[in-house]
Structure 1
Amino acid sequence: MSIKDGFLVELERETNSTRRIIDRLKDEDLAFRPHEKSMSLGALIGHVVELHNWVATALTKNDFNLQTDYKPFKPSTVAELKQALDEGYKANEQTLNTFPEDEWFKTWTMRVGDYVIGEMPKLGALRFVINNHLIHHRGQLTVYLRLLDIPVPGLYGPSADEQK
């Protein structure tokens, strides 16, 4: 199995997990904030969706500058979230299918202006900056669902709400 093939499996499964959360949301849920210091549910799920889509938008660059290459995704409806996730999945799949194997080992830099946040091989960037980051925030979303009394979907096995 190639690196690409492994990431294609992960891409499909993680996208489906995020979709299961989005499918449980209503537009009015997007304004929910569990605390004044917390992001709204809409901002948080928007960030998760945009992180998915960084496979095609950020990983294809060698230098990703948050100041010039990044515009936060601010959805106002669940339909926008679904559309962005679905369109992003197609772009991500195409990106991975055409990504040269040697490209995984090239250095990827993340910065804000001239300040370098980190440098690592693109292989590490996909795992650490994109996937682990979105999984972390998706975990936060499950807490938001619980607080809203929305049944939490099982993401890596059955959830308490799916137990009999």
Structure 2
Amino acid sequence: MPTGCKQTTPRRNKPPVAAGKKFSVPSEQNHKASPKDFVQLLPLEISLKIFSHLDIRSLCNAAMTCRSWNRTLETCDHLWKLHCLTVRALCQREIDRDRGNGYSWKVTLLRNYWKSKVKREWLSGKYSNICSRGSLPEKSMYPMDVDTWGEILEAELER
């Protein structure tokens, strides 16, 4: 099991299905999970392996899907760390500062993901030939610190 993940108690399998009919199960064996909730049905290691193949947006959506998935993703910082290190290529100062302030990898990623996308667009020159402020997409003005705007200005001056 990956480091930093809490082991949960294994859940019972869903009731058997025969000829399209579900058998009833005594109430003490029923659980609140949907029969299609693989996180509740599969061992934690397998669920985490499935989640590890998601991109950032899908991982965030998965965390909002249901309480079971959210609890699983909250306890496994390593899933967020992989994506956060990718974002760090553009936002090293911000990521390091957030980690130094004790933020989890998930919170650090959420705080810096859009900033990294906007910063990448600015640094790549996407907005170099904008004629007016009205031509800029709203997200291009994402709040960034002075040092980040300094990097962008330097890149523009070099073009």
- TM-score band by shorter chain is under 0.3
Report the TM-score when normalising by structure 2: 0.28
Identify the structure with the greater strand proportion. Answer: 1
* Structure with larger RCO (C-alpha < 8 A, sep 6+): 1
Look at both structures and tell me which one has the larger radius of gyration over its CA atoms: 2
Q: What is the TM-score of this pair, normalised by structure 1?
A: 0.27
